[in-house]
Amino acid sequence: MLRSEAGRNPHDRALNELVGELTTRSGLFAALWAGHDVRIHTTGTKRFRHPIAGDLSLQYETLDLPGDEGQTLFAFTAEPGSASENALAFLASWAASPPETHPPAVPPANPMSRTRAPPLSREHTTRQRRRHQMTENKENMTEKKVWFITGAGRGMGTDIAKAALAAGHAVVATGRNPEKVTLAVGGNKDLLTVKLDVTDPADAAAAVQAAVDRFGRIDVLVNNAGNFYAGFFEEITPEDFRRQIETTMFGPMNVTRAALPIMRAQRSGLVVTISSTAGIAGGEFLTAYAASKFGVEGWAESLAPEIAPYGIRSMIVEPGFFRTELLTPESTSYAESTIDDYAERTEQTVAAWQGMDGLQGGDPAKLADALIRLAESDEPPLRFAAGADAVGTFETRARALQDQANAHRELSSSLAHAGA
């Protein structure tokens, strides 16, 4: 009984004095006390978001066992069949991993001891303070999601960041120029702006780490950063074609590759990839852009079943024409007209697109609100046609594919081995 009471009330002065006196007067008592030191630090029921296992609702009890090489016992119970029980199974598998992969155990201080512990070093104190701050940040994120958005310095990325903040979420807004991102999105206690060039894998890894250091997790990744190299294929230089692919295809891959380990550990997450109707149906003057978008569509669709077993979803967004900055000189680069055969059509297409800038029908703020709504749904769609024109593109493409399948159905179906 004395041991149990001392464990539950380690700072009870009278109890400490009694134990100290008994330890001084009786060597047998001192030996028994030291050999059976079990201190129950905390008991109760708590709902919280574990940085590795995700949302948990547990009855818990923690026990320190200094008499057994300083090990700590964590006793948890959860409702059978619940998500929390599944999370506990995951933690149990971690606990069963080889001890050499774990941090070394440190015997906790014995509050009954009359020996004063040495003062903590400044480095240790700083480390403890940082760990406490990270824990506090993670607990504060229980009722909100953490959105990580690329290309947030202008256009659609800015609108998505603002919408997520307005919905009560935390946002990691990234861009090549963090100061510009802050000016575009505006100040907010739940906003972190980070430098990120999506074509640089090291930048992606550093930005993801900054997000985890600040908020403890990433719930929604929005691959939005992009640019537009327009022109006829023969006139787009190989260098510009590669730049297009690097930004709008490999860019999302770089950032997603950095974020997926975090989401897998959480066993939850949503990867949103902003594609285009140019990823559904190609067209002239779009060879480089459509190639990157068709590529990112195939990647994101194939990624979906790979990550689904870990609670991670993939959603591809195909916007039509929205009133963003995509057609401005800052985002669009037109190939130099060098071939006479294309000269007239180049002049007409460039003039038409420049005249369309600022007059597109789609409202990016409404699209941003729609993405918040879809991200909060239980089953986000694999594809989302953004805008009435995008819906039309989907329907036209579906009819075209059906017509193409029917056009040579007999020939297509006659290509098997004999007897197969």
Q: Which residues in 101-132 are b (16+ Cβ under 10 Å) and which e?
A: eeeeeeeeebebeeeeeeeeeeeeeeeeeeee
Beta carbons within 8 Å of 417's beta carbon, 6+ residues apart: none
pLDDT at 353: 73
Q: Is 289 a catalytic residue?
A: yes
Residue with tokens 């986000």: 380
Residue with tokens 């007067």: 25
CB atoms within 10 A of CB 59: 14
Helix (H) or strand (E) run with residue 270 in it: strand 269-274
pLDDT at 28: 57
CB atoms within 10 A of CB 217: 24
pLDDT at 246: 97
Instruction: Compute the residue count for the chain.
Output: 420
CB atoms within 10 A of CB 278: 22
Residue with tokens 């004063």: 116
Which of 293, 314, 334, 342 is flagged as catalytic?
Answer: 293
Please give the chain's pLDDT, 420 residues, in tens.
Answer: 555 455 545 556 666 667 666 655 555 555 555 554 444 444 556 565 665 566 666 665 554 444 444 444 455 566 666 666 666 666 665 555 555 554 443 333 343 333 343 454 555 454 455 445 444 444 444 468 999 999 999 888 999 999 999 999 999 999 999 999 999 999 899 999 999 999 999 999 999 999 999 999 999 999 999 888 999 999 999 999 999 999 999 999 999 999 999 999 999 999 999 999 989 999 999 999 999 999 999 999 999 999 999 999 999 999 887 766 666 666 678 889 999 999 999 999 888 877 777 666 678 899 999 999 999 999 999 999 998 899 999 999 999 999 999 999 999 999 999 887
Q: Is 293 a catalytic residue?
A: yes
| Gyration radius of the chain's alpha carbons | 29
CB atoms within 10 A of CB 75: 12
Is 150 within 8 Å of 222 (Cβ atoms)?
A: yes
- What is the CATH architecture assignment of 137-409? 3-Layer(aba) Sandwich (3.40)
Positive or negative: CA dihedral 107, 110, 111, 115: negative
Which of 145, 229, 268, 289 is flagged as catalytic?
Answer: 289
Tokens of 119: 């003062």
What ranges do the domains of the chain cover? Answer: 1-12+37-104, 137-409
Enter the DSSP assignment of 199.
T
Q: Is 342 a catalytic residue?
A: no
Is 186 within 8 Å of 162 (Cβ atoms)?
A: yes
Is 87 within 8 Å of 53 (Cβ atoms)?
A: yes
One DSSP character per residue, 307-373 reads HGGGTEEEEEEEE-SBSSSTTSTTTEEEPP---HHHHHHHHHHHHHHHHHTT--SB-HHHHHHHHHH
| Listed residue (254, 283, 346, 271) closest to 310, CA to CA | 271
| Tally of CA atoms within 13 A in the half-sphere of 208 that contains its CB | 24
- The bridge status of strand 269-274 relative to strand 312-319 is parallel
pLDDT at 75: 56
| Listed residue (331, 342, 325) closest to 231, CA to CA | 342
Which of 275, 276, 292, 314 is flagged as catalytic?
Answer: 275
Positive or negative: CA dihedral 26, 28, 33, 34: positive
Positions of E strands within 28-134: 39-50, 54-65, 71-77
Tokens of 184: 């575009």
Amino acid sitting at position 127: R
How would you class 172 by CB atoms within 10 Å of its CB: exposed for 0-12, middle for 13-18, buried for 19 or more? buried
| Listed residue (223, 195, 222) closest to 209, CA to CA | 195
In Å, how far are 90, 285, 402 from 58, measured between CA atoms?
A: 14, 58, 53
Q: For the chain, what is the largest distance between any 2 Cα atoms, rounded to a whole number of angstroms? A: 105
- Dist. CA 313–CA 309, nearest whole Å: 9
Is 306 within 8 Å of 261 (Cβ atoms)?
A: no
